[in-house]
Amino acid sequence: MNRIIFFGNGPLAEAALRVLEQHFEVVFHAHTKEDLMQACEIKRKTPEAHGVLASFGVLIKADVLGLFEPEGILNIHPSLLPKYRGPSPIESAILDGNNDFSVSVMKLVKAMDAGPIYWQATLSGSEIAAKTGTRLVSGLIPSKAAIYQALAETGAKWICKNLADLKEPTSQDESNATFCSKFDKSMSFLKPGTNTAELILRKIIAFQGFPKAKYAFYGKNCAILAAHILQPDETAILPLTCANGQILSIDKLQPDGKKPMDAKSFINGYTKR
């Protein structure tokens, strides 16, 4: 069985690793910057071990990269590189109105997400929903968790099939590179009065986990965990009227300092009858 040294953290890494460990012996999993020295020691002792990375969040220096030449460390990046280089490719694609989502397997280099490409694929929202056994939110896009899972698994499965016989990777076109940045809490509070229902919904989906979409209902700041665009034959328990006249129905939320709850429970607990 081929051996790999894996670098990664978070949902993308976890989903990729579940696939990889079914086909490879994972001799070491580096979670932090402090793990890099041990990863190097293991690579020197087991030179046949391949390097695979997904959402590591730590700069890997040239001396470490050099140990994995000539194939390099294979990086599973959830975008159609050179688009969406950086730390928030899935979230940025959601906010930009994308309904299709991509994954690239590239050779890691010192410059951020700039290495040559081994392989790329694009999945439609419907394909992602089918692969993960979920539904599209308001018929538009999958949940963020479903996107992470489907792209990670797709990239990892390609590596499982092709790692033993990699072809020469193709350089990225720098003229088409776009970049995304980290999210922060200043982005959290929703502005339905100036944003469409679809954009507000996309923010709720993109901000799941962090920084979380926030809105104040009945004077209580709440994280909005799930919502959908209200259909003509529906009635919303907790409506949010948006700039284009459409209404978002809030399905699940979490008041500050409280546990997550559905809209009905919130109304029962925070309004006077």
Model confidence at 273: pLDDT above 50 = no
Model confidence at 272: pLDDT above 70 = no
* Interval 205-217: pLDDT, tens: 999 999 999 999 9
Q: Is 120 within 8 Å of 103 (Cβ atoms)? A: yes
**What residues form DSSP beta bridges with 107?**
74
For range 172-179, the mean pLDDT? 97
CATH code matching the domain that covers 185-270, chosen among 3.40.190.10, 3.10.25.10, 3.30.360.10, 3.20.20.70:
3.10.25.10
- pTM of the complete model: 0.95
User: Do 3-176 and 185-270 agree at the fold level?
Assistant: no
For range 224-242, the mean pLDDT? 94
User: What is the spatial distance between Cα 136 and Cα 142, in angstroms, rounded to a whole number?
Assistant: 4
Domain boundaries, the chain: 3-176, 185-270
Q: Is 27 within 8 Å of 49 (Cβ atoms)? A: yes
> For 266, how many CA atoms within 13 A lie in the half-sphere containing its CB?
26
**Residue pointed to by tokens 């590596």:** 159
Q: What is the 3-state secondary structure (H, E, C) of 18-73?
A: HHHCCCCEEEEEECCHHHHHHHHHHHHHCCCCEEEEECCCCCCCHHHHHCCCCCCE
Helices 144-162 and 125-132, axial angle in degrees (round to 10): 80
- Confidence band for 270, pLDDT divided at 50, 70 and 90: confident
For range 180-190, the mean pLDDT? 94
CATH of the domain spanning 3-176 = 3.40.50.170
